[in-house]
Chains A and B, each alone.
Chain A
């Protein structure tokens, strides 16, 4: 792994990007709430929950198969929004988990969401189910829950791996409306093939900000956009640098080649 300490430029860049994000968060908290565009897949959440309630069947949410990391926390944050919608409709949520620590956090998330929606009595501790720590045993357990409970809406958010298609296919088999999102690039195609709505890549991180409209999260997302633009500018700068070095006149002129080499060397990670 590349450590920030190996190259001062990398450390400087990480600090600069962090400052941009923190700056936008602070501005948002002081009232300059930024705008973020519509993420179409997320608009389907209320529709899916409403449909599940009409059918009298539960809603299932799977927070991926990793431990308590940023991706899982993001998934639980989205589930908190979904659980509030489920509680408002008076329906039942099921969250199967693969990690004991995630189970604890998921229980608290669900309990808080039901309380926020004014329906704390609907919370049942059996709704968050720790199944096992093994990937495919977990997959068979989740598949069993989907078909036995006949879930009408299935939300798959988090880090998924080879089991992603099993969840999505079984959900499809029982006719559940499915919304999925993951940061695992290799699993997105399977969700696209088998789910009704998929949010891809960075949309996953923007999701909770979009749903909650929390100024802190919105500021963070917009700060990240500025960071992307900065990285794009660095890519352009580097590309122009290495391209100009292929121009014979510039490459052999000390006036141009020294600064160009300096820029290119500076941006390179050792």
Chain B
């Protein structure tokens, strides 16, 4: 009896049915999936509204005005309303002003992003550890020659990969020259190797997520497995 009561625990039952409904799409689109898809969308939308109110609108807008007397925030209302201009022919220009400001802000942020993301990658390409000539061997190292060879090979491989991938992403000319074509082909192969590695590791993560859901169904809900 206790087991039956446990199976019909509303929270566990809802979680289990939701999991099975969403996973059922793997076989075929069905009404069970459709119901839970819309429940999921509704819940997410409700969550979004609540999240926006509790983390943005109430503390930064409403409380700032009503509690702290910063009534200047009321000026943001007409700016926000300008977005809705998109729905009328007459006031579309208003929405374009706001969108234009957003575009400008984003375009400006790209420069900072470039300096922060790309330039360190460039400079890290020629750290002393990337030298093409090996450093002097460590005295007493029995495998000094092997270490030096592997150091050089590793760095030449690194340089080759950087050059070939960069050449693959050049668009200003047709890659007809044999040397350029071969380099670009190597770049594509290297990219595919990297994508394969990413694919494998991400699939492992996805399996972990699936196992977590199965654990919920078979352990937490059905109690068919122990541990």
Interface residues of A (CB under 8 A from B): 1-4, 10-11, 13-14, 17-18, 34-39, 68-70, 73, 101, 104-105, 107-108, 131-134, 136-138, 140-141, 143-144, 147-148, 165, 170, 185-186, 188-190, 192-193, 200-203, 206, 210, 221-222, 225-226, 228-229, 231-232, 234-235, 237-248, 264, 267-269
Contact = CB atoms under 8 A, between A and B. Distances in A.
Interface residues of B, number: 65
A186 B126 contact: no
Nearest to B22: A140
B122 A243 contact: no
Interface of B: 22, 25, 29, 33-34, 36-37, 40-41, 43-45, 47-48, 83, 86, 92, 95, 99, 102-103, 106-107, 110-112, 114-116, 118-120, 122-123, 125-128, 130-136, 159, 162-163, 166, 169-175, 191-192, 194-196, 198-199, 202, 206
Given A206-B171, A243-B133, A200 B191 contact: yes
B195 A132 contact: no
A192 B14 CA distance: 35
Contacts of B196: 189
A238 B129 CA distance: 12
A137 B39 CA distance: 9
Contacts of B131: 239, 242-243, 245-246
Given A137-B41, A147-B29, A242-B126, A73 B106 contact: yes
Nearest to A237: B126
Nearest to A225: B172
Chain A at the B interface: mostly helix, strand, loop or mixed?
helix
A79 to B, nearest CB: 16
Contacts of A248: 136
Contacts of A70: 106-107, 110
Nearest to A134: B44
A108 B86 contact: yes
A134 B166 CA distance: 36
A170 B86 contact: no
A10 B115 contact: yes
A128 B127 CA distance: 49
